[in-house]
Structure 1
Amino acid sequence: MMWTRLGLRGITRSQSLHGRRTKMKEQLSAKQHERNEKKKKKLAALANLMELNDRDRLHEAEMARKRDAAEANKDEAKTGPTEQSTNNADDDGFVTVPSKRKHRNRHTIRNSPAKEGPANKSEDPDEPTTKRSREDMEAGGDSRPAEEISILSQEQYKSLAVELRRRKRQLEDVPGLRLREMGQRASLETPQHARTPIFLTDIQHLLMSALIGQKSPCRPDRWCSVEKWLSLSHSVVVILEGLSLYHYLSNETQFEATNRIFNTKLEMLLPPQDEGQIIDEIAQIPLTNIQAKRLIDEHGSLESALEMNKDPTLFVKTIFPIGNGNQKHSIGDLHPDDKFPRTKLLLSALQMVDEGYPIPLSGELHSRFRNFKFTKKSYEPVTNRSPMFGVDCEMCRTVAGLNELTRISIVDEQYKTVYETLVMPDNRISDYLTQYSGITEDIMKKVTKRLDQVQTEVSALLPPDAILVGQSLNSDLNAMRMMHPYVIDTSVCFNISGVRRRKSKLKHLAQTFLQETIQDNKEGHDSIEDSRATLKLVKMKLANSIEFGDEILTQQKRLQELANASSGDTISNNLFAHVAKRDKRTAIVTVGDLEPRLKEVIQQADEASPKDHSKAVRVHEVATPKEAVRKVNEIALENALTIANLRVPEQDFVLDNAERNAAKLDRIIDRLWNTVAHNGLFLVLMGGSAECTKGVAKIAIKRLNGSEQTSAPIGS
């Protein structure tokens, strides 16, 4: 009986547990059902919100179309019809795109203000209802009955979830531009006294990366960061030759549409006017796979090719007082000891800024170096026969907290000492830094020469086209408190680490390449010995190749040689391998004839292409700005890069005409913005004038609703 009772008790307990589990499952199932219903309601609400957003965008696009039509009708009423009905244009050169074109560029929607004024609200009686619906939904509800939202079949639920995931991926796959510190310094929002301009080279690097992507050897990392390169649909560049920073700032209120389109507005330094147009430099950026292959065959790597084809003095001529001079030798005339041009080792103005060289730029750099002197009152253009001088300085710490000049040595190309002196600092020495400088208190007891006397003697010694050579020469020039336009820095052109920003010490470079031991004296460095070592290194590099002593360029050349040996294809395994998939097509639209220099560049590109290949660069020469705008409308989506070159006559910005012509240019920019497709990169480059060599770079990335991608500092 006991066992029977225990058995019954066990059965009863088992049935009780089973009942509780069944009840819990029913409760869990009810909760899951409730959660699923909430998900469906949320998805339905999101779908409704998407529908409302789409309706708003269509409404804005329709309103923009009506405004465009009204403007066109107003202009036509004033001047009479001037174009065919399929291609309406106003007297400023703005084209209303025909319906066929609009269908093709269906993702491009006019960038309208985010909120319309009260007058515009009356144009759409449904707008208040739309806004109320969205506000209700954002608050967690919906204007539709709850029963309607909750009624979603399983198929509708899955379809809606797929659509939301698609839209999420679309939003995530969007290119974005963020300004780094150098970009923020160049922003027009930065006060003028603290502003440092970017260079046209920086814009070239941006375009190169936009065309090629992450593996471009020319990246804009010094001033900006661009995410999702591959998502950029195309690039449109508008160059306004003759329009300077001064012209823009003086008439900024007239650029209403331009200021609405662009959040990224940067001061830009331009090459001298007599060095050619901006388009001459920009047009050399796009590379087809044929061009890349030819450059790699010739120079071993694309980075070597780019080093060899750049002019490092282009912007230096704008900054320093360099005259035309009477050149004894042509620029292409090599020194008998050199295998390649020594001018290719010169630091560019951009590199000088990055490396901390004293340079007479405006803004923050002007304040920092305002008491510095030029090594010469005026300079002559540098050539490949210009003499090189090795320079090295020793410094001591003073009570001012600075390292001030106490010794300077200069040697010529024959390694003879042409200048050597000790210098008494302006402030009292607090630390002689003997282990580095070799300077002691006893050595300095009888020294009376001051810095200003040294500056005068150095200026008298150096010829006007002298090239100064040194290891981290920026420190020496800062100690001398002098500025010089032509410098070769062994810490830049030599690299044994394989990392561009990691500098090698002069002692290690001398041991590696010269098999010489320097700086081995416990009593400190010898500035004459260091000067000779830097000159020997540069002369050795010039006797070999541009990649000699540069591990980065050497590795690229080795990889290229391996790729050539294994496959016979000079590009398949190179950093430009992905360019071989398809050529990047470029179009240039210019008012009037092309400059001879640009024609030569384009001809060379065409010659590099096979006979059955389309032209690398297509040129469209038009007669008026109106035709230029129309042509860009027609071809922008057919090319990876479209460049429109427009000349702004000087008389357009005299006092009486400036505001009217600024407004006219503003409308041109607005119309060209409307030709840019979704995820397209749009640049407007105001190219400076004879009176003001500073320009403005405006950058925007088109969004689906026609607005600009807002740039922000990195880390914001």
Structure 2
Amino acid sequence: MSEGVSKKRAARIERRKSKISAIFKVDEKQENVFCRIEDEQLVEPLQKQPKLSDEEYHTLRIKLREKKRQIQCGPTFRLIQLGLTASLNLPKPSRVPVLVADVQSLFLYTIVGDTYNYDSYKWCDLARWNNLTQTLIFIVEDVSVDEFEENTDIFAETFRIFEDGVEMSNPAKDGFTLDLALAYVPISHQMKNRVMEGYPSLHAACLDGYIHGVADPTVQKVNANTTAESHAVKNHEVLSGQPCGNDITTQEKMGQKNNAADTEKLSRESSDLSNIVETKTIGATRHNEQRRQSTEVDSMNKDEVHVSKIGSSVDDSKSDVSMQEETSGCSRLALLLNASQLISELYPLPGYEEYDNFKFTQDIYDPVTDRSPMFSIDCEWCICVDGSYGLARVAVVDEHLKTLYHTYVKPDVEIADYLTRYSGITEELIRDVEKRPFDVQQDLRNLLPPDAILVGQSLQSDLKALKLFHPYIIDTSVIFNMTGTRSFKSKLKVLAASFCGRQIQNSMDGHDPTEDAIAAMELVMLKMKMGTEFGDLILSRNAMRKIKDSALDHEIQMKLFTFIQSHNRSATLITTSLSLQKSYHPRLLKLKKAVVKCKKADESLVDPVQIVLASDFQDAVTMTRASRFNSSFTLVHTYAGREQHNRKEKLKEIDKAIANMYTGISLNGMMIVIFGGKTNPTQNGACLVRVKKRSI
């Protein structure tokens, strides 16, 4: 009996030896010769392999256990929740694209993981993030998700490598370029405290360029009141068309060289705009006032409009407003955008071919004064098939935060993207709506007085959706600046939370235009009370004060590569243009020891960020391969170009570059490929993710 058991045990051991030996032979790419008969059944190998000795068996068994351990302990990536709804495996009409901020959150997670409490965007899960050996991010702009999916034969290697991919919203929909949307990252409350260990105050860290957009309670408060003389000077600057304190030059906005030709063009356009406004303000405007006061529209269902008679309320409140502004920090006139700012902020202006079908909000305008009423406007829109903004919802709020107007609208052009995540608009919601953009134009022309001041966040987009011109504008994205640079604006949600303690845009059903309009009006009223420097880091580094403590985490931002260095991680930046390099470039390349988070107390600081400027796409790929990915974080940002000539050859070149880069990364390294989309905001991008793992 025992002899039979011993034989069976010996046979099992021999089978295990053969199995383990076969596994390692497959891993080493040694071929076993099999023959296949016509009925597709496998037969025994032509030559049997020699039996393993006990010592060889135990050695291979140890190696197999080690390989399994490495695989099980390696990082893993998978899509969850929002990521599954944006997956490229879904039909395009069923997808809900992730945001650039969602993709940026993955960048941060590869660096800090779950050691800090960041907002969870819930689109992906990266397990065992601390076992990542490196992160390579390859960004190619001017390639859309449609172009990627329509050329599966060209992107054969890319499709073979990446199993997880999502559609990414085009940042152009929000008025951002991809580099700016990725270059600035939020920091946690713990990170803020560590900043204080290396600097005497957050204000000092901001002045040093380590962080951007801060509120430091230790900063000495400036006087909230301004003199009558300063009011007169600022009013003269605005009415004369000269730059005031919060002016933004065309050079800062568009990154153009400040040469004589540009200056002459800007002066000529400013002069033309001033002449148009002056012409339209000539003459009496009583007929406009009577028409405005007589407007009252009954409430209806989805497409109903609510309009209140505002003539009496405005007139009754003018004396109160005037009394308030006598003791306020600044006049509403000091906050108006002048002609140069309207041009540099890309507001719709008459005389341009693209705005030929736009209308003025009034036939005749009255001169704007300290008593001119303010109306906050916010619109929600969709993207139409021609790339234009399609008006879908409008709300108007007065200075008393009373809703004067609200309606749903059906665009004149077929809708390509409802932008439901932002707008809350769905096909079902406006299917039965009868009101058209022309009707809204007429409603607003009847509602607004001839000296009305329009208030809003980046109001140029709303006016483009409304297809209206208006000369008197207060833009909260201009009068407030928390980033330290004019070209990168703070979101309304951040401004409202930071300065007013108001939480907005938290609904999963999209934005509420009434809520946003109220928030914008509250910001302007606060600005008038505190003065022009309040909330503007450009005008005064000491102006960021009296901000709610609960909002501190949202208001502080840091350059991406400064953030990486702060966690003592090596990094390399490779770009193909100076503008891209400027967006990402950290101001401080060598950080103070106190602000750097090290794993060990005696850990030395890594070298500063390596910054490489490539001449073109191919040069960037060559430099990336030559670097051998020595840094733990490498970002390569390139352009595919918009030329259609030899387009397929260019796409093949991109596919080959992706395959070569993936081959070069180390085991347990992560590669992220981002296609940035097209200049047309309807052309979204894509994000592909893969962790390189050892196969058994």
TM-score (norm 1): 0.47
TM-score (norm 2): 0.48
Higher Rg of the two aligned structures: 1
Q: Give the number of the structure whose residues are more often helix, by fraction.
A: 1
